[in-house]
């Protein structure tokens, strides 16, 4: 007897829930099946632009109807195969065009930012491409600014001593994931600027550290084996602030720990200023590459430094 009210209420809740579900579905059905639709609802729904002939041929090769080799297939009740394309992909037509402009059977373009723009706009899953993914930090490159993880780990002393580290400005967590494949545990610092980066990193099994470069790092002195940073430390940071940040990285690295400054961006006129700041902290240089960044034109005099530096094993305070 005591259990009766206990049973009745959830049942009522269930019925109410089912009723709500049915009415909301009917309402949606009514709204979307109405032949004319109210002006408000039709104007608020973006209409995808029709695919035009300006799409690259790989777009049509992927989405096009493909004849089945044995004709009509009773299981599919079709003689054609139509690979699906998520509708929001068409809402970002220019990104989609760039994404699908590549050479078949070659290396895929290095376009992870573009790929994330498409995903964040709902183009998920992305179309399949017929190219080989470049594995940044894994595949050796002819560009001296691109170091590989294996090369960096092999320079660590003692050998095999890199076990934990921080990726400062971890982006979507790919660097940390690559390090984990080599049994190095990484946390990745990130903000959610323009996207749910913390959540994305977390979903890849990497701890997202929600912190900015202006803040003292939440690690004790002499604890990390490696710190990597790409795209966050660059010439948007005033040199004095960079000096503070580099001293803090030096603090948290253990003697012999590595700081991998990956593609530090600046313009030619700033070279002396930034180089002297980086050099002044007391790291020893293991690798030091300066190169031009040419993708936006040589006249902009844009440059990169990629450096692998080490906190000295002796007398590093
Ligand atoms: C694709 O590229 C690979 C590696 O470059 C090559 O071995 C292969 O023959 C190519 N296949 C075709 C169909 O072009
Ligand atoms: C990582 O650790 C596992 C388990 O100890 C081992 O089997 C594997 O070979 C290691 N991988 C690398 C790249 O060292």
pLDDT digits 0-9 by tens, 228-265: 999 889 998 999 999 999 999 999 999 999 999 999 99
pLDDT for the residue 52: 62
Residue nearest to atom 11 of ligand 2 (CA): 182
Q: HSE on the CB side for 75, CA within 13 Å?
A: 3
Q: Which SS3 state, helix, strand or coil, does residue 92 take?
A: coil
Tell how far the Cα of 207 is from the centroid of ligand 2, in angstroms.
20
Check whether the bond before 291 is cis (ω within 30° of 0): no
Residue nearest to atom 5 of ligand 2 (CA): 183
pLDDT for the residue 116: 82
Give the tens place of pLDDT for each residue, 144-201. 999 999 999 999 988 899 999 999 998 889 999 999 999 999 999 998 888 889 999 9
Backbone angles phi, psi at 91, to 5 degrees: -75, -20
- Pick the atom of ligand 2 nearest to 182's CA: 13
Confidence of residue 1 (pLDDT cuts 50, 70, 90): very low
Burial class (CB in 10 A: 0-12, 13-18, 19+), 277: middle
Backbone angles phi, psi at 176, to 5 degrees: -60, -35
Is 50 exceeded by the pLDDT of residue 301? yes
Residue nearest to atom 14 of ligand 2 (CA): 182
Say how far apart CA 275 and CA 157 lie, in whole Å.
Answer: 25
Site residues for ligand 2, CB cut-off 6 Å: 182-183
Residue nearest to atom 1 of ligand 2 (CA): 183
N- to C-terminal Cα separation, the chain: 75
Q: Which of 255, 285, 288 is nearest to 158 (CA)?
A: 255
pLDDT for the residue 50: 58
Tell how far the Cα of 179 is from the centroid of ligand 2, in angstroms.
12
- Pick the atom of ligand 2 nearest to 181's CA: 13
Angle, alpha carbons 283-289-292 (nearest 5°): 135
Taking the mean position of all CA atoms in its chain, how far away is CA 27? 38
Check whether the bond before 274 is cis (ω within 30° of 0): no
Tell how far the Cα of 155 is from the centroid of ligand 2, in angstroms.
19
Helices (H), 68-148: 87-91, 93-99, 112-120
- Full set of structural domains in the chain with CATH: 87-134 (no CATH), 149-310 (3.40.50.150)
pLDDT for the residue 115: 87
Give the tens place of pLDDT for each residue, 27-62. 444 434 444 434 444 445 555 555 566 899 999 999
pLDDT for the residue 19: 45
Residue nearest to atom 3 of ligand 2 (CA): 183
Number of CB atoms found within 10 A of residue 225's CB = 19
Q: Which ligand is nearest to the CA of 184?
A: 2
- Pick the atom of ligand 2 nearest to 183's CA: 1
Tell how far the Cα of 70 is from the centroid of ligand 1, in angstroms.
27
Give the tens place of pLDDT for each residue, 66-104. 999 999 999 999 999 999 899 999 998 999 999 999 999
Backbone angles phi, psi at 214, to 5 degrees: -80, -5
- CA dihedral of 244, 250, 251, 256, whole degrees rounded to 10: 180
Tell how far the Cα of 171 is from the centroid of ligand 2, in angstroms.
25
Tell how far the Cα of 132 is from the centroid of ligand 1, in angstroms.
11
Residue nearest to atom 6 of ligand 2 (CA): 183
pLDDT for the residue 317: 65
Q: Which residues neighbour 101 within 8 Å (Cβ) at sequence distance 6 or greater?
A: 56, 58
The residue behind tokens 């009210």 is 5
Tell how far the Cα of 185 is from the centroid of ligand 2, in angstroms.
12
Residue nearest to atom 4 of ligand 2 (CA): 183
pLDDT for the residue 26: 44
Give the tens place of pLDDT for each residue, 256-296. 999 999 999 999 999 999 999 999 999 999 999 999 987 77
Residue nearest to atom 7 of ligand 2 (CA): 183
Give the tens place of pLDDT for each residue, 102-126. 999 988 887 877 888 898 899 989 9
SS (H, E, C) 99-111: HCCCCCCCECCCC
H and E: helices and strands count for the chain: 11, 9
pLDDT for the residue 296: 72
Is 90 exceeded by the pLDDT of residue 208? yes
pLDDT for the residue 195: 82
Confidence of residue 316 (pLDDT cuts 50, 70, 90): confident
pLDDT for the residue 51: 59
């Amino acid at each position: 007897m005591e259990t009766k009210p206990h049973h009745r209420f959830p049942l009522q809740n269930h019925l109410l829930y089912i009723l709500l579900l049915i009415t909301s579905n009917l309402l949606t059905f009514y709204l979307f099946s109405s032949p004319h639709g109210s002006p408000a609802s039709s104007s608020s729904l973006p209409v995808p632009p029709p695919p035009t002939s300006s799409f690259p041929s790989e777009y049509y090769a992927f989405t096009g109807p493909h004849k089945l080799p044995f004709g009509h297939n009773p299981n599919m009740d079709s003689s054609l195969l139509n690979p699906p394309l998520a509708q929001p992909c068409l809402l970002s037509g220019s990104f989609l065009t760039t994404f699908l402009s590549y050479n078949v059977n070659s290396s895929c373009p290095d376009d992870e930012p573009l790929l994330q723009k498409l995903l964040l706009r709902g183009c998920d899953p992305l179309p399949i491409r017929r190219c080989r993914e470049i594995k940044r930090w894994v595949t050796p490159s002819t560009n001296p600014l691109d170091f590989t993880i294996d090369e960096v780990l092999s320079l660590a002393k003692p050998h095999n001593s890199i076990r934990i580290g921080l990726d400062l400005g971890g982006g979507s967590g790919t660097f940390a994931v690559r390090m984990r494949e080599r049994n190095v545990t990484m946390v990745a610092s990130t903000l959610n600027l323009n996207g749910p980066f913390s959540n994305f990193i977390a979903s890849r099994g990497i701890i997202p550290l929600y912190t900015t470069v202006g803040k003292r790092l939440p690690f004790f002195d002499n604890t990390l084996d490696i710190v990597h940073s790409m795209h966050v430390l660059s010439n948007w940071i005033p040199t004095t602030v960079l000096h503070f940040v580099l001293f803090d990285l030096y603090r948290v690295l253990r003697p012999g720990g590595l700081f991998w400054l990956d593609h530090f961006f600046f313009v030619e006129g700033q070279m002396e200023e930034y180089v002297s700041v980086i050099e002044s902290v007391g790291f020893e240089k293991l690798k030091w590459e300066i190169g031009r960044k040419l993708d936006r034109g040589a006249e902009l005099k844009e440059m990169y430094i990629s450096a692998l530096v080490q906190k000295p094993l002796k007398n590093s305070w």
